[in-house]
Amino acid sequence: MKTFTLTDARNRHGLVFDQALMEPVLLTKQLRPTHVILSAQAYEAVN
Q: Is the pTM of this model over 0.75?
A: yes
Class of domain 2-46: alpha beta
Report whether pLDDT(22) > 90: yes
Confidence of residue 47 (pLDDT cuts 50, 70, 90): confident
DSSP assignment of 1-47 equals: -EEEEHHHHHHTHHHHHHHHHHS-EEEEETTEEEEEE--HHHHHHH-
Confidence of residue 21 (pLDDT cuts 50, 70, 90): very high
Confidence of residue 11 (pLDDT cuts 50, 70, 90): very high
Domain residue spans in the chain? 2-46
Confidence of residue 23 (pLDDT cuts 50, 70, 90): very high
